[in-house]
Structure 1
Amino acid sequence: MKTKKRFIAGANCPNCKQSDSLRVWEENQIEVVECVECDYVEQKTPQAVEARSHSSSSPNSEQLIGIFKPE
């Protein structure tokens, strides 16, 4: 089965700073974020994603609003 990779609208790559170049997908219960412009790849387990989104309380920290999952 082919994995659906979704682009993250409005996101900037932390490595090359290119806008709208990050895509996300899940592989073996690990969330993978990859930039299509450079070699940046980030992998997170679902527990790390949950802890990060709830532990950020400073006003300058990035927060995940939601992930679009087309049916």
Structure 2
Amino acid sequence: MNEHKPQKPKKRFIAGAVCPRCSAMDRIVNFREGGRNYRECVECGFKDEIRLQSEPRELNTRVNSEAQPEEVAPVKLIEPAPAAKVKKVVKGQGADKPTEKGEKPQ
């Protein structure tokens, strides 16, 4: 009574894909059959095996590489020079008096 039927592959549409034969857009489905990936156009019936490339290898960086650590050198801190003092002129109070640099404020 419970007969085991061969399962139909689950087909998924590939958004934005264009058929290489009939140039129909959004008519390509992707499915897996017998351990291989295929694409098929539901418009014209075009069917092709998709040969996927192997996974790209991870790029070597200083974080994941086995390189020897670089020498650690101490950092020299430099004290900033003291800022030149400039008198602030407030409007209405001595606006006609020159500043320390000898210039009249405008």
TM-score range, shorter chain: 0.5 to 0.7
For 2:16, the equivalent position in structure 1 comes to: 10
User: Which 4+ stretches in 1 moved above 3 angstroms?
Assistant: none
What is the one-letter code of the residue matched to 2:16?
A: G
**Structure 1 vs Structure 2 CA RMSD:** 1.9
Structure with higher RCO (Cα < 8 A, 6+ apart): 1
Compare the two structures and name the one with the higher helix fraction: 1
Separation of aligned partners in 1, 2:15 and 2:38 = 16
Q: How many residues align?
A: 50
- Aligned residue in 2 for 1:49: 52
Q: Give the number of the structure whose residues are more often strand, by fraction.
A: 1
| Matched residue, 2:36 | 30
Aligned partner of 1:69 in structure 2 is none
| TM, length-normalised to structure 1 | 0.61
Q: Distance in 1 between matches of 2:21 and 2:42?
A: 11
